[in-house]
């Protein structure tokens, strides 16, 4: 696979994004295979991966088995793979594709996720098989929400030793269409979750401003609790509300004082959010959807 790095910025700057998120996270009730024969317009998607992603247009590139029908995206091993729209999932596997997942979207579009993880360790051991908890994060046949984790990035099939996601878009369940423009305009999730599930976040980055009950961070790494791992993400602006607990502990004031002492240069920080139930707005990091409970300068 050709290697080429491009840099993209995922910045949430206004409540307009929250409206887009609400549209992307519509009900999954109609996401069934019966949509395959229908003509469908691909909706605005949630980006299929959480973590910094090397994305370029390689649709149609020549391959030994024929024309490349998807986009390959380099991404860390076992990075969360998420549903791009509400729908129903189906497991699959093959010699070339390895562990695969089909998402039958509520819009009638079908999506293919190929080369999911099949390793028990980071050493490319190929001992895990194509199973829930190894390749897949939800049961076969599950109805899922946009932004919900459905799999784990990997290198199964003929991708051995090169973890990446091969992603295809099939409008109306028909022929493959170039996913690149849909991925470029997709809404980037800050973390993976099913709406309504409990979560809290660890955020690492730079404090840009604080005051008036808010704190603005340029986030560069994210960890979801419970579980989860620290993931590098595209640098993005996230505006947090400030909890009474954080204010009472003078957390924000202490870090803000250091920011002022440094002549308003951004201060590296680690921040943690209040435990809450996931919403579509929180999953994409919309302004005010996350609440800061604790923050300290990073050294």
pLDDT of residue 12: 33
Give the residue-averaged pLDDT of 273-289: 96
Q: Give the mean model confidence (pLDDT) for residues 125-133.
A: 95
3-state secondary structure (DSSP) of residue 238 = strand
Taking only the tens place, the pLDDT of each residue in 26-78 is 655 444 444 444 446 899 999 999 999 888 776 655 566 666 568 888 888 99
Strands annotated E in 106-247: 110-116, 143-144, 149-152, 164-170, 198-211, 214-225, 231-242
CA neighbours within 13 Å on the CB side: how many for 20?
Answer: 20
What pLDDT does residue 5 have? 30
103/14 Cα distance (integer angstroms): 30
| Residues forming beta bridges with residue 170, ordered by sequence position | 110
268 or 263, which is more confident?
268
% the chain with pLDDT above 90: 56
pLDDT surpassing 90 at residue 252: no
Report the percent of the chain where pLDDT is more than 70: 75
The pLDDT value given to residue 60: 59
Q: What does the mean pLDDT of the chain come to?
A: 83
**pTM, full prediction:** 0.83
Q: How is residue 127 annotated by DSSP?
A: -
The phi, psi pair for 210, rounded to 5°, reads: -155, 145
For residue 81, the number of C-alpha atoms closer than 13 Å in the C-beta half-sphere is: 35
Q: What's the pLDDT band for 3 if we cut at 50, 70, 90? A: very low
Cβ proximity of 19 and 291 under 8 Å:
no
Helix, strand or coil, per DSSP, at residue 291: strand
pLDDT of residue 142: 98
The CATH architecture of the domain made up of 198-297 is: Beta Barrel (2.40)
Q: Residue 117's pLDDT is what?
A: 96
Q: Which CATH number fits domain 26-184: 1.10.287.110, 3.40.50.300, 3.40.1190.20, 2.70.70.10?
A: 2.70.70.10
Q: How confident is the model at residue 8 (pLDDT cuts 50, 70, 90)?
A: very low
CB-based contact 233:249 (threshold 8 Å): no
Domain coordinates in residue numbering, the chain: 26-184, 198-297
Q: For 75-102, what is each residue's pLDDT tens digit? A: 889 999 999 999 999 999 988 889 999 9
């Amino acid at each position: 696979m050709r290697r080429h790095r491009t840099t993209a910025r995922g910045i949430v700057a206004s409540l307009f994004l929250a409206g887009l998120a609400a549209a992307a996270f519509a009900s999954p009730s109609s996401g069934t295979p019966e949509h395959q024969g229908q003509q469908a317009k691909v909706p605005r998607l949630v980006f299929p991966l959480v973590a910094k992603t090397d994305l370029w247009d390689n649709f149609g590139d020549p391959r030994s088995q024929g024309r490349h029908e998807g986009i390959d995206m380099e991404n860390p091993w076992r990075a969360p793979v998420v549903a791009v729209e509400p729908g129903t999932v189906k497991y699959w596997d093959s010699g070339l594709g390895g562990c695969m997942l089909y998402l039958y979207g509520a819009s009638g579009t079908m999506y293919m996720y190929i080369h999911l993880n099949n390793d028990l360790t980071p050493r490319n051991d190929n001992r895990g098989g194509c199973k829930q908890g190894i390749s897949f994060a939800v049961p076969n046949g599950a109805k899922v929400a946009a932004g919900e984790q459905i799999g784990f990035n990997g290198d199964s099939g003929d991708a051995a030793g090169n973890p990446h996601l091969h992603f295809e878009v099939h409008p109306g369940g028909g022929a493959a269409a170039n996913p690149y423009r849909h991925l470029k305009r997709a809404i980037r999730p800050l973390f993976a979750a099913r709406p309504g599930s409990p979560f809290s976040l660890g955020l690492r980055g730079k404090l840009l401003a604080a005051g008036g009950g808010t704190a603005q961070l340029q986030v560069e790494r994210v960890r979801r609790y419970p579980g989860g791992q620290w993931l590098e993400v595209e640098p993005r602006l996230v505006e947090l509300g400030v909890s009474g607990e954080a204010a009472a502990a003078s957390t924000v004031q202490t870090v803000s004082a250091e920011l002022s002492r440094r002549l308003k240069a951004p201060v590296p920080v680690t921040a943690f959010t209040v435990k809450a139930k996931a919403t579509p707005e929180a999953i994409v990091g919309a302004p005010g959807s996350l609440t800061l409970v604790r923050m300290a300068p990073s050294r």
